[in-house]
Amino acid sequence: MSNPLNDAMRMLAAQPGAIFIGQGVAADGVATFDHLEGVPFSQRIETPVVEELQVGMGIGMSLLGFLPILIYPRMDFLLRAMDQLVNHLDKLELMSDGQFRPKVIIRTRVGSRTPLDPGPQHSQDHITAFRWLLSHKLTPDIEATYVNVERIGWHGEIVETYRRVIASPKSSIVVEAL
């Protein structure tokens, strides 16, 4: 039987220059590892717990022509990367007057509280805050977003959401709140 998360990850892996970076992408032990079934190990870079560095790597690799897919097992962990996310990935196009337009896809999850509650630091939903932090008032009438924040609330949205993210020229954070 087909799993929509596996299907979406294989769809991402088929994109030119796709490279998966994060914890649990090449070494089992994190739930997101199972969703990479069928993604070649040659497209995976395992990292230790270096959330900020991970976004920085993604930005740099994007500017070199790769399509980095950064995996964060929990949305809470992405908070550790806010400097790179808010002050670099989100602002690079503005800071370079459109010369640099990195495209990075960040996959994360709101931690489940069942069957075992991991506690508040592993199950928070920061989607609204991320959307607020990643929007810009360019003028009183014009607001721009350089990093999309997508929410997946049910399994039927998975493949279509990732398809939309692939088609977008912008970087995206995909939050699986299943």
Residues 51-108 have pLDDT tens digits of: 999 999 999 999 999 999 999 999 999 999 999 999 999 999 988 999 999 999 999 9
Return the structure tokens found at 42. Answer: 């040659």
Q: Provide the 8-state DSSP code for 164.
A: H
What is the per-residue pLDDT for 30? Answer: 86
Tokens representing residue 70 in the block: 């950064």
Half-sphere exposure of 25 (CA within 13 A, CB side): 26
Distance from CA of residue 122 to its chain's centroid? 17
Question: For the chain, what percent of residues have pLDDT higher than 70?
Answer: 90
Please give the C-alpha separations between residue 89 and each of 55, 62, 130, in angstroms, as whole numbers. 8, 10, 13
Mention the CATH class of domain 4-176.
alpha beta
pTM of the model: 0.92
Are 176 and 161 in contact, with CB atoms under 8 Å apart?
Answer: no
Q: Which positions ≥6 away from 52 have C-beta within 8 Å?
A: 80, 81, 83, 84
pLDDT at 113 over 60: no
CA 137, 140, 144, 149 torsion-angle sign? positive
